[in-house]
Amino acid sequence: LKSVFLEAIKNVPSTKDRSKSYYEFLKEYYKNDETPVDNIEDKINILGSGSDHAPFAYYAGVPSLDYFFDIDKQKYPESTGGYPTYHTGYETFFLMDHLLDPGFKLHKTCSQISLHMILQLAESAILPYQPLDIVKELGKAFDTMEKENVTKTLRDNGAGAAFDLMKESFDGFKLAVDRWTEKRNNIKKNDALGDPISQRIFNDQIMLLERTFLLPQGLPGRDNYRHALFSPAKFNSYAGAAFPGLSDLLHGVSKLNGEEKVLRFKEVRKHLSDLMIVFRQSSSWLSDEIEI
């Protein structure tokens, strides 16, 4: 849904300067940030937990997003959380109208962004999901694993072959996403949507893609989270993580003794095999061909 959100903020005016879109405002704002970026996309993180979207995203495989207006860290650099009256009896209409959001400008902008995203999803002949964003985020995760010597740890402990098969399966998924995206772009370019049944099949492919990422048994040690690729981190449920099951299994592994370590890497190999299967079934789901 990243592209849907970005399209929405490009079409909603900024609360600071209504002659500019919120996208333009954020682009300028993030250039002066503590960690400056040129692309707003880099500031959109993997979805975390801590709100009502969690069971939809991580158990049912429904694409979800969570956005909010945060404290201005450039104006209040010492701020470490939300406003002090949050979730108290002092959080009143008067407080909101006179101090926190006079005139309800931010509330209005928030509603406009939500409505724009809903309209995109409801009125597009082809759903505007971008599976390439999933591939890019997973690509970053593989780079991080290499940089932090995770792949070396796996190879040193007998899980190298399982990792290579999983990575090979991911490459197949990446190719399937490229082909699907090319087909989608050609359909839009040539207005070649065809009959309503073909349209329904094509939209179902992308709408239900995330359900192919679910593990029926759940993540290792966490059966309430089934999304194999993106789920909250075990030790920080408010932050999302790529390959959360692998991250959980490798946490503290260097402190395990001989037998415990052997058993843990047996679990790691099993989970890598599950990820390989997930990528294969996802590739098959996006394909026009029937694959077993």
**Distance between CA atoms of 280 and 292, rounded to whole angstroms?**
10
Of 17-21, 69-73, 157-161, 171-175, the least confident: 69-73
**Distance between CA atoms of 223 and 241, rounded to whole angstroms?**
16
pLDDT of residue 73: 83
**Distance between CA atoms of 101 and 75, rounded to whole angstroms?**
16
Q: Is the pLDDT assigned to residue 254 strictly greater than 50?
A: yes
pLDDT of residue 292: 44
Q: If 0-12 CB within 10 Å is exposed, 13-18 middle and 19+ buried, where does residue 203 land?
A: middle
Of 38-42, 79-83, 144-148, 157-161, the least confident: 79-83
* Three-state secondary structure call for residue 241: strand
263, two tokens: 């058993």
Of 192-201, 262-271, 280-289, the least confident: 192-201
**Distance between CA atoms of 112 and 57, rounded to whole angstroms?**
23
**Distance between CA atoms of 242 and 141, rounded to whole angstroms?**
6
Phi–psi pair at 21, nearest 5 degrees: -80, 165
**103 DSSP assignment:** G
* Three-state secondary structure call for residue 123: helix
Average pLDDT, stretch 177-197?
Answer: 85
Q: Is the pLDDT assigned to residue 250 strictly greater than 80?
A: yes
Q: How far is CA 254 from CA 40, 82, 102, 220, 266, in A?
A: 37, 37, 53, 18, 15
> To the nearest whole number, what is the mean pLDDT of the chain?
89
> According to the 3-state scheme, what is the secondary structure of 162-189?
HHHHHHHHHHHHHHHHHHHHHHHHHHHH
Q: Which residue has the tokens 């002090």?
A: 84
Q: Between 230 and 292, whose confidence is greater? A: 230
Of 123-137, 189-203, 269-283, the least confident: 189-203
**Distance between CA atoms of 98 and 107, rounded to whole angstroms?**
13
Q: Is the pLDDT assigned to residue 274 strictly greater than 70?
A: yes
When pLDDT is cut at 50, 70 and 90, the band that residue 163 belongs to is: very high
Closest CA to 48 of 205, 240, 285: 240
Average pLDDT, stretch 261-267?
Answer: 95
Q: Is the pLDDT assigned to residue 82 strictly greater than 90?
A: no
Over the stretch 93-136, which tens digit does the pLDDT of each residue have? 999 999 889 999 999 999 999 999 999 999 998 999 999 999 99
Over the stretch 49-74, which tens digit does the pLDDT of each residue have? 778 888 999 999 999 999 888 888 88
86, two tokens: 């949050």
* Three-state secondary structure call for residue 238: strand
Q: Which amino acid is at 159?
A: A
Over the stretch 220-238, which tens digit does the pLDDT of each residue have? 999 999 999 998 877 665 5
